[in-house]
Amino acid sequence: MSSTLSRGYTFGTTELVTNVKLHTLVDSATVVFTGFTNTGTLTLANAADGTHLKFTGDPTVATPVDGDLWFDGTNLKIRIGATTYNIDKTAE
């Protein structure tokens, strides 16, 4: 089991750090999990549509444990106290 973090921006050796570059470094980073039962990708992004956190991968969580957070293709779910909850989708 492992995780790979990919930077959203790579600085050159003499390059100055700016707020835009620093935000890109963090906001466009990805974390890829491998070797787990349900492999997938967690993307941290500052996309044009405002997306900042995106889950992709196998939407089936066969045996969720407390603290798991996943998207099943329809609902965002969280496991708390041995119970799985859909996170409320009330329109703004």
Q: What is the pLDDT along the chain (92 residues), one digit of tens a residue?
A: 566 777 778 888 999 989 888 877 777 777 776 655 555 555 555 556 565 666 665 566 778 888 888 877 788 888 888 898 888 777 66
**Which has the closest alpha carbon to 71: 84, 58, 81, 88?**
58
Q: Which amino acid is at 90?
A: T
Q: Domain residue spans in the chain? A: 1-58, 59-92
CA distance linking residue 69 with residue 23, whole number of Å: 25
